[in-house]
Amino acid sequence: MSFLLGVVIFIVALLLSIMLHEAGHFLTAKKFGMKVTQFFVGFGQTLWSRRKGETEYGIKALPVGGFVKIVGMTGMDEIDPADEPRSFRRQSGWQRIIVLAAGSFMHFVLALVLLFLVAAAVGLAAPSTTTTIGTIDSCVPASVSSACKSSNPASPSAKAGMKPGDTIVALDGTRVSNWTQMGKVIRRQPVGTPVAVTVVRHGKQVVLHPTLATTIMSGKRVPFLGVSPQVVFRRQGPVGALSYAGSQFGQTVTRSAGVVASLPAALPDLFSKNRASTPAGQVSSVVGAGDVTGQVLAAKIGWQPKVSLVLLIVASVNIFVGLFNLLPLLPLDGGHLAVVIYERIRAWLARMRGRPDPGLVDMRRLIPVSVGVFALLVGVGLLLIMADIVNPVHIIQ
């Protein structure tokens, strides 16, 4: 049930993101006096629509996008001569640029708001300063940075019966009150010999006797117990939350660029058994993102990490979509932006030479390019969806 709820939450968030994207185009076009005849979420057959004024608002059967129809988007559009003064193509270059960029701008605003809420309302995760155990390692890894394998032995803490929520108050008779003290005491203990560990569990003291193992940290062998501190969430003030939102936004932009760059190398591994450990584990469709959201809500973790992770997923998707939509490729908004910018540069050069404005770009020449890019995007999108259905990536075990 939690998994399905997570998928539904992601779908609703995606639809709201699409509505905000189209609202960006719609509101800026209206602001500049352009005539907008349609505002729809989805594609295909119309499920519901209502006309208000000169605009028809509605929902279509396939919730895979949306559109706003502004009259006269290109020189190829045939429109009523009475609407020509209000057509998109007759407006100034800077107005057309703002309308085209407004969709991605709304994605970025939504992402920044969600990141701000993560820090200000949910809180940022940080290790607790107490000795309360947050997690028990299931194995003794080859090094502190290694993952557990089936061949690794069970950790001393797991063998001894230590549990998350236990508070360690003494090690080998030495009282400890924070994680730093506990680490120093552990490093003094002999490996292979049971050590008395006193914990408080449900208000009662329990003495356990784990036998410490060893693992590698910073190139040296160190005693290993196999416990991690409890994670606490601390809400940030407005300044701290803004700083976090800006920092996370920048990091997500960098990661998104890396995902796009790694896509060609990732495609061959989409259906491999070890997809998660290859570049293909870093790319996903909306189906995969919805699946991950479901995994988060189904995981046995607290409400704060669940809410935080879901908000981060939705914010990341919005940043990626906003950036991708700005790529200078038709039929994306970025492709139309590139055309408008080219028209204005060409007009400026003509003016410098004392020649008349060459006018609008002949979009008929760009139709083959637009169709080719669209087919490529649809093909890659369907391939990612298929991979996410038959070979999903499980981020939470």
Catalytic residues: 22
Nearest-angstrom CA–CA distance, 321 and 103:
10
Number of Cβ within a 10 Å radius of residue 115: 24
Rounded to 5 degrees, φ, ψ at 139 are: -145, 175
DSSP codes joined into one string, 8-28: HHHHHHHHHHHHHHHHHHHHH
93-117 vs 303-325: helix crossing angle, rounded to 10: 170
286-298 vs 2-31: helix crossing angle, rounded to 10: 130
Rounded to 5 degrees, φ, ψ at 59 are: -125, 135
Nearest-angstrom CA–CA distance, 366 and 8:
38
Nearest-angstrom CA–CA distance, 284 and 287:
8
Nearest-angstrom CA–CA distance, 166 and 203:
10
DSSP codes joined into one string, 115-149: HHHIIIII-EEEE-SS-BEEEE-SB--SBTTSPP-
Query: 310 burial class (0-12, 13-18, 19+ CB within 10 angstroms)?
Result: buried
